[in-house]
Amino acid sequence: MASPATKIFDDRRQMVDACAAWLVDRIAQTEGRFALALSGGSTPKPLYALLATPDISRRIPWDRVHVFWGDERFVPADHPDNNARMARETMLSHVPIPPANIHAMPTDGEPEAAAAAYQRTLQDYYGASALDPARPLFDVNLLGMGDDGHTASLFPGATQLDETAAWVVAVRDQKPETRITLTYPALASARTVLFMVEGAAKQPALTRVFAGDRALPAARVHADGDLVWYLDRSAAPAA
């Protein structure tokens, strides 16, 4: 699968700058609410920090932006591994986004109940309990990829890869910490799914993903709109 929308940058800085510029333009071109799903991990941190810098932040109508997550580690909101905490520290605490527009995944109680609660949050925002490919849930869904080819918290060989009904599920058996993750149908419900992948450690998995190796979860992501890969040169598959 060599996606036609693959952009390769000389380094992470250029990739982040380009992604921020693209996001600002896409939000500006969108009327009304803008649903942005964030990924966790380390790759997006400089992007989130850049979006919060005054020169860029002032160009974003934060009152129209609704932030969601593609996955979450099932740890307390103030835990250092919590994805929403990372986004708050790097971006959300520094921009004038209304608190009601920040839709963090719950991480208390039982993971399955928290997943069901977040599915209700998404359905309330969407206004329906069934996804329509012609009316995507997200305007942009930002995703990363692990060096094993996982994305969000969909891991190789996991039973959650085959989920087609639920939008959000718990993942108890793949990592030291339990996770909550969007499933493929929900991840795909976006005008644009944008992967940001950087670092030589990702190149072997990315080469397999671009070759269509469906054993890697990232290779099975599709988009109701368009699917775009932003790569730094060290992660890009060998020509």
Stretch of residues binding ligand 6PG (CB under 6 A), selected from 22-30, 99-107, 142-150, 159-167: 142-150
In the shown chain, the binding pattern of residues 68 to 107 toward ligand 6PG, with x for contact by CB under 6 A and - for none, equals --xx-----------x------------------------
Place of tokens 């969000």: 152
From the centroid of its chain, how far is CA 22? 16
Q: Please, what is the minimum distance in Å from the beta carbon of residue 40 to ligand 6PG? A: 3
DSSP string, 38-89: EP-SSTTHHHHHHHTSHHHHTTS-GGGEEEEESEEESS-TTSTT-HHHHHHH
Tokens representing 162 are 């085959």
Tell which one of 90, 107, 119, 151 touches ligand 6PG (CB under 6 A).
Answer: 151
Do the Cβ atoms of 9 and 234 come closer than 8 Å? no
Please say which residue, 27 or 221, places its beta carbon nearer to ligand 6PG. 221
Nearer to ligand 6PG, 56 or 199 (CB): 199
By CB under 6 A, is residue 203 in contact with ligand 6PG? no
Least Cα distance to 26 among 50, 60, 51 occurs for 60
Tell the smallest beta-carbon distance from residue 207 to ligand 6PG (Å). 16
Closest approach of ligand 6PG to the CB of residue 132, in Å: 25
Tokens 């060989």 belong to residue: 157
Q: State which of positions 42-71 bind ligand 6PG (CB under 6 A).
A: 42-43, 70-71
Nearest distance from C-beta of residue 170 to ligand 6PG, angstroms: 14
Neighbouring C-alpha atoms within 13 Å toward the C-beta of 22: 18
Which residue in this structure is represented by tokens 């598959």? Answer: 237
Distance from C-alpha of 53 to C-alpha of 75, rounded to nearest angstrom: 28
Please state the closest distance from residue 128 (CB atom) to ligand 6PG, in A: 26
Q: Output the CA angle 151-46-36, nearest 5 degrees.
A: 55
Q: Residue 156 interacts with ligand 6PG (CB under 6 A)?
A: no
Residues at the site binding ligand 6PG, with contacts judged by CB under 6 A = 39-43, 70-71, 83, 144-146, 150-153
